[in-house]
Amino acid sequence: MEANQKLQQFMDAVSRSTDAEIARAEREAEQKAKQYLLDAEARCKADYERTLASAKSRITAKYQKQMSQVGYQGKTAFLSRRQILLMQLFGDLREKLAAFTASEEYLPWLRKLLSAHQPEAGAQILLREADMKLESELRAAAGADVTFRADPAILLGGLSVLSADGRRCENHTLDEAYASQLRNFYRNHKIGGGDE
């Protein structure tokens, strides 16, 4: 019986050892399974956050691009409309200048210009082509021996006085006054084009 008892004790010991080994293996397997699940969850969360950040970035970039395009289109429309209004405003001024040069007041104005800015002898008075017919009326106001010449650069009216030596030119044209007003308007309102 003692042999049976010893055998039973041995079998119980082996059984306990085996049960302990199995329990330890089960615990390790459970720990590994939990760790695999935690790792998988962390990877999924990281992938989710990366995908979400990427989607947010794409949506933000798309939104910013659309907003930029809308802003650009709005600014372009504004600048275009502003340019149209400016050209209307200065177009009206140009029409008024054209009406002035066709009026009865234009010849006296030219005479007054020549009287106020007496040219030297030998000077040339430059007029627009259409004003050359006024030469005889303007000669008396010049007060000196001058020549009159048509200048194709003068389109609106007025006159320029070129010195006898050709080195000085006093520009009293409506073209220059108009251009100066346009430049000043652009410069004073900080609009591109005032420095030209």
Q: Pairing mode, if any, of strands 147-150 and 158-162? A: unpaired
Dist. CA 179–CA 155, nearest whole Å = 12
In a domain, 62, yes or no: no
- Of 72-81, 95-104, 109-118, 172-181, least confident by mean pLDDT is 72-81
Residue 181's domain comprises 103-188
In a domain, 149, yes or no: yes
User: 185: closest CA among 172, 173, 195?
Assistant: 195
Q: Nearest 5°: CA angle at 91, between 106 and 174?
A: 35
In a domain, 116, yes or no: yes
In a domain, 24, yes or no: no
Q: Nearest 5°: CA angle at 119, between 116 and 120?
A: 140
Residue burial 119-147, b: 16+ Cβ < 10 Å; e: rest: beeebbbbbbeebeebeeebbebbeeebe
pLDDT tens readout for residues 35-54: 888 888 888 888 888 888 88
Tally of domains in the chain: 1
Grade residue 107 by pLDDT with cuts at 50, 70 and 90.
very high
In a domain, 98, yes or no: no
Beta bridge partners of residue 150, listed in sequence order: 127
- Total residue length of the chain: 196
More confident residue, 110 or 14: 110
In a domain, 51, yes or no: no
The whole-model pTM stands at 0.56
Q: Do residues 173 and 154 lie in contact, with contact meaning Cβ atoms separated by under 8 Å?
A: yes
The whole-angstrom distance between residue 52's C-alpha and the CA centroid of its chain comes to 34
The mean pLDDT of the chain is: 84
CATH number of the domain where residue 126 is located:
3.30.2320.30
Residue burial 41-75, b: 16+ Cβ < 10 Å; e: rest: eeeeeeeeeeeeeeeeeeeeeeeeeeeeeeeeeee
In a domain, 122, yes or no: yes
In a domain, 120, yes or no: yes
Instruction: Report the percent of the chain where pLDDT is more than 70.
Output: 96
> Is 84 a residue whose pLDDT tops 60?
yes
